[in-house]
Structure 1
Amino acid sequence: MMIVLLVCVVGLSVVSGQHTGGGKPAYNYGDALGKSILFFDAQRSGKLPSNNPIKWRGDSALHDKGSHGEDLTGGWYDAGDNVKFNLPMASSTTLLLWGFIQWKDAYQSSHQINQMYDSVKWPLDYFLKCWNPHSQTYYAQVGNGNADHSFWGRPEDMTMARPAYKVTASKPGSDVAGGTAAALAAGSIAFKSKDHGYSSKLLNSAKSLYQFAKNHKGIYSSSIPEASQFYRSSGYKDELCEAAMWLYKATKDHQYLNDAKSFHENAWAWALSWDDKKIACQMLLYEATKDNQYKQEIEGYFKGWKPGGGIKYTPCGLAWRDQWGSTRYAANTAFMALMAADHGIDALSLRKWAQGQINYILGDNNKCFSYMIGFGKHYPLRPHHRGASCHAHCDSSILHSSAPSPHVLVGALVGGPDEHDKYVDKRDDYVHNEVACDYNAGFQSALAGLTHLVHTNNLPQADKRKCHC
């Protein structure tokens, strides 16, 4: 007999999915969830708060300013470098908030809810600084990627110029502006019960920034090519769809839903990433409408990702989309699988698949090795990360040193193995050993989804691991 589990989610309508309980967690997903938050704390730029838990980090980039002296301090450093790229930062913030809103009980049961509010408020506060609705300017990046990447040192020790780049009506960036509007709208939902005034401020900024992105369409990297060599967006329809859907969820204004439908792309996404949000748009549209068209697109996406669908799998079972952040792509799709299951799509199969991918990342592989730093007994010791690799004195020789980093970058998810499950812990291997905010974001929300399943006794029995060590 099929039992329907009704789950009331804060900020969302009631969603349903099949009861899929009976399994025991292979790992402490809640512990991993808390560690992931610590990674984002380590990425903070600006004046650090008194409750900063990362003792080896200090204040940095205190003079980040816009072209007219605007205060642009704050936000997250992108990865192992010290640039603030808003396109991936906004994408990361949205994915984190989505999982937080959907599975708030996971943060409560893990005693991480206050830490999560503190964590995600950091980029939201920064986005509010970046957008000026009166001058219709949005600052989308602080720091020059080439200048930054030529410096191997702590963010506290930076002396190079940190130019700020903005989009305007004449130099549009609907991708980065739309993505940020989505994050602000999602933030307004997450903070509504905690701080109504702050929630309203986020929502008002989301509305005006979305309108700016919609009125002045264009791609950021085309408008300001010198600023965005490292994150070149392939389009903006997905970000505008995502922003419109989060605004619809926050306001219930059907004009936003109609906008989202107009920006929707009827295609199977390559993956969920900072650049490609088609599957996110389709998921949000299906949640709101239950239209079979969107369900078919979601099912088609997972058909391509599950075994036999065309994507490569490593011998030990990681769904391997690309060498750049292989764990990131698998974790992001695991997050989407758990979300689809909550909305009644192939619940048992998708939850089992998602659990298998996260278990691989946490240690179910040929090395019994966690690709999350600080989790388990064996994990990376030499991530491609400037701050963690440096004592007070630091230079480029540290990049190529074989010594473990002096600071443990707890919670960071490294890029991961190659398609043969091979991985070498080398600091100068930025393909497989870099860390990034967008690597951790969907991963953390997948951990929240699994923690929720454990908390509600709805975790499925995991498939047997393919490799032993």
Structure 2
Amino acid sequence: MNVLLVAAILAVGSAVDVKLNNHWNGGFQAKACIGITKELHSWTAHLRFDQAVDSLDIWTADAKKADGGKEYVLTNKAWNADEHVGDQLCLDFVAHTTGDITPTTTLEIEGMAGGVAPTSGSVTQGTGPTKPHLVATIPPIPHTGGGTARYDYGESLAKSILFYDAQRSGKLPANNPIPWRGDSALGDKGDNGEDLTGGWYDAGDHVKFSLPMSSTSTVLLWGYLQWKDAYATMKQTDMFFDMIKWPLDYYLKCWIPATETLYAQVGEGNDDHHFWGRAEDMKMARPAYKLTPSKPGSDVAGEIAASLAAGYLAFKERDAKYAATLLSTSKEIYAFGKKYPGIYSQSISDAGQFYSSSGYKDEMCEGAMWLYRATGDKSYLADAKGYHENAWAWALGWDDKKIACQLLLYEATRDTAYKAEVEGFFKGWLPGGSITYTPCGQAWRDKWGSNRYAADAAFVALLAADAGIDTATYRKWAVEQINYILGDNKYGISYQIGFGSKYPRSPHHRSASCPDRPAPCTEANLHASGPSPQVLVGAIVGGPSNDDSYKDNREDYVHNEVACDYNSGFQSALAGLTHLVHANALPAVPAPKCHG
């Protein structure tokens, strides 16, 4: 949502008007940024509404409700207590309301000049002299609106959720929205009989690899936390939580604290890949592979810790008890990764055949930063700085989190060194940099999942734009990359299955290639011509070659594989674009180079 904060240095006792232009039945979102003109080592803000607000979601402050919901008193987290002259203090919140309301909203910050009115209601402010408040001017955010959406990003987002539902392993709930999927892999167990059912199948196969899975869930949660309004306006919030709880529950099962054991894979890769059939019909053994103090894997530990900490932030207002479990487990798994450093694919050789990890510092940095966001404990920030790598990232991907680490550090510290790293990343990715561009305009990083890498980079671009880094340029580029996947390409097809009228019909996906039960499904279905019997709604296929060429062929797993991590940055970028559409802030982009 595009929020206009109209602010000026006003007389004592006045307040900043926070003007909203995006709301829905049950809530609204706003973001206010105020320039700091005096050194602060703690701060208190007052949000006042002329109509009652039921509850407030805000991760940059602790909020206390007052005056029946007409006021919220916000106090700093431990990690953002210090604000320096020249900084900006940004407060981004989602309000939950009864009905569709657009209340007049004001913001006051104590500690600068002038006076602040006493707090209404039951929140006490302590004794001593009344502190003055700040009403400050902020620099204008670059205007990036004026564009018209070529595609329905919200519809695409909703369909992406369904892909993850199709990847579920274990006993499915009564509300399973995928009619051709049933219970599967109910015997997944650890070495001592631990229940390891659940989680997501990795791709078109049936192995559960925890590194791509946890990378996927972290990116999905990041997009949700950044643009909750996108899910709310599309009425997809409940669907999102149903979707994301599936891997989070699985990670909780994978951690055995008494023995410092973290299960990181279920299913033997080669045996699995020799089976072509439904997940429900698997008969082969499914061994579990674990990390221990003598067989470490800090990359998996850091990434799972990141997902659980981000999960805490998502669930804390919805299910406080569950959120607390996510956070405590995140801390334990992070500590395990820190205490026993190592690369997981050197400990689990089977994983190394499929997802060989290049290092663990980036995932541990990410885990530390999400724990810092969740707790405000500055020791995690210090850890993240220690794990940080000063290099331009190759991509955002399941094995490369450097850009995520750098951007999270910049958001937390506003240190220009981290900003320069983010800018360096996009110097490589934007036209004129080191990335190959197809004739029709896709930023083509690699033949394996070119759609995935372009969408992941588009997601990072939208995050960086929100952080105030080259906002107009990055948003425009992100729109162009997502539009390419949805139809602005050589064939005018959507690379997302089920979106629009022209899309791939034969993805490299076992269960989707199978007819309805009880009809048999064998390797013959891999080689069968014609569309898959089941429509794998929401999945994006790997994508085109660097000349834009593409063939819809199930046997071509390079271009037609689907995978959990392929959709993660794509879905979160769609959330960002949906947010911009509803905020009337979608940038105008040139006519596509190709459109079929």
TM-score range, shorter chain: over 0.9
Q: Is the 8 A contact 2:487 2:494 kept in 1?
A: yes
**Partner Cα distance (1:27, 1:72) in 2:** 40
1:371 aligned residue (492, 495, 505): 495
2:525 aligned residue (390, 398, 403): 398
2:249 alignment counterpart:
125
Matches for 1:255-404 after TM superposition, within 5 Å: 255-391=379-515, 392=517, 393-404=520-531
Higher relative contact order (CA 8 A, sep 6+): 1
2:215 alignment counterpart:
91
2:576 aligned residue (442, 449, 452): 449
How far has the Cα of 1:227 moved from its partner? 3.9
- Residues 190-225 of structure 1: per-residue CA shift (max 9 Å, x gap): 101111111110000000100000000001111121
How far has the Cα of 1:428 moved from its partner? 0.7
1:31 aligns with 2:55: no
2:68 alignment counterpart:
none
Q: Secondary structure at the match of 2:299?
A: helix
Letter in 2 for 1:360: Y
5+ residue gaps, structure 2: 6-29, 33-56, 61-89, 93-139
1:438 alignment counterpart:
565
1:413 alignment counterpart:
540
Q: Is the 8 A contact 1:17 1:341 kept in 2?
A: no
1:51 alignment counterpart:
175
**Partner Cα distance (1:38, 1:408) in 2:** 11
2:99 alignment counterpart:
none
**Partner Cα distance (1:439, 1:238) in 2:** 19
Q: Secondary structure at the match of 1:184?
A: helix
2:31 alignment counterpart:
7
Q: Is the 8 A contact 1:4 1:19 kept in 2?
A: no
1:100 alignment counterpart:
224
**Partner Cα distance (1:128, 1:468) in 2:** 45
How far has the Cα of 1:11 moved from its partner? 2.9
**Partner Cα distance (1:188, 1:178) in 2:** 15
1:73 alignment counterpart:
197
2:117 alignment counterpart:
none
**Partner Cα distance (2:356, 2:307) in 1:** 19
Q: Is the 8 A contact 1:17 1:343 kept in 2?
A: no
**Partner Cα distance (1:150, 1:214) in 2:** 37
Letter in 2 for 1:49: P
**Partner Cα distance (1:186, 1:202) in 2:** 9
1:180 aligns with 2:304: yes
Matches for 1:135-214 after TM superposition, within 5 Å: 135-214=259-338
Letter in 2 for 1:14: L
Tell me which protein shows more strand as a share of its residues. Answer: 2
1:424 aligns with 2:551: yes
- Residues 155-196 of structure 1: per-residue CA shift (max 9 Å, x gap): 000000000000000000001111101100000001011111
Q: Is the 8 A contact 2:305 2:330 kept in 1?
A: yes
- Residues 9-31 of structure 1: per-residue CA shift (max 9 Å, x gap): 84356369533111111100000
Q: Secondary structure at the match of 1:431?
A: helix
**Partner Cα distance (2:429, 2:150) in 1:** 23
Q: Is the 8 A contact 2:411 2:467 kept in 1?
A: yes
Letter in 1 for 2:563: A
**Partner Cα distance (1:38, 1:10) in 2:** 28
- Residues 351-382 of structure 1: per-residue CA shift (max 9 Å, x gap): 00000000000001121100000001100000
Tell me which protein shows more helix as a share of its residues. Answer: 1
Q: Is the 8 A contact 2:203 2:562 kept in 1?
A: yes
Aligned length: 467
Q: Is the 8 A contact 1:10 1:102 kept in 2?
A: no
Superposed CA RMSD in Å reads 1.3
Q: Is the 8 A contact 1:352 1:463 kept in 2?
A: no
Letter in 1 for 2:91: V
**Partner Cα distance (2:568, 2:265) in 1:** 19
**Partner Cα distance (1:468, 1:94) in 2:** 33
How far has the Cα of 1:402 moved from its partner? 1.3
1:463 alignment counterpart:
590
**Partner Cα distance (2:352, 2:184) in 1:** 22
Gap change, CA 1:443 and 1:260, over 3 Å in 2: same
Q: Secondary structure at the match of 1:139?
A: strand
Q: Is the 8 A contact 2:209 2:351 kept in 1?
A: no
Q: Is the 8 A contact 1:17 1:345 kept in 2?
A: no
Percentage identity across aligned positions? Answer: 66
1:252 alignment counterpart:
376
Give the TM-score, by structure 2 length.
Answer: 0.77
Q: Is the 8 A contact 2:269 2:350 kept in 1?
A: no
Letter in 1 for 2:247: P
**Partner Cα distance (1:160, 1:10) in 2:** 47
Q: Secondary structure at the match of 2:264?
A: strand
Give the TM-score, by structure 1 length.
Answer: 0.98
Gap change, CA 1:17 and 1:80, over 3 Å in 2: farther
How far has the Cα of 1:468 moved from its partner? 3.2
Question: Please, which moves more after superposition, 398-407 or 424-433?
Answer: 398-407
Q: Is the 8 A contact 1:335 1:442 kept in 2?
A: yes
How far has the Cα of 1:226 moved from its partner? 2.9
**Partner Cα distance (2:348, 2:184) in 1:** 26
Q: Is the 8 A contact 2:487 2:595 kept in 1?
A: no
**Partner Cα distance (1:237, 1:425) in 2:** 38
Pick the structure with greater CA Rg.
Answer: 2
2:24 alignment counterpart:
none
Gap change, CA 1:132 and 1:406, over 3 Å in 2: same
**Partner Cα distance (2:58, 2:440) in 1:** 37
**Partner Cα distance (2:407, 2:4) in 1:** 20
**Partner Cα distance (2:174, 2:186) in 1:** 16
Q: Is the 8 A contact 2:504 2:552 kept in 1?
A: yes
Letter in 1 for 2:225: I
Matches for 1:221-260 after TM superposition, within 5 Å: 221-260=345-384
Q: Secondary structure at the match of 1:134?
A: helix
Flag as ranges the 4+ runs of structure 1 deviating above 2 A: 3-19
**Partner Cα distance (1:17, 1:85) in 2:** 41
- Residues 317-366 of structure 1: per-residue CA shift (max 9 Å, x gap): 00000000000000000000000000000000000000000000000112
**Partner Cα distance (2:461, 2:373) in 1:** 20
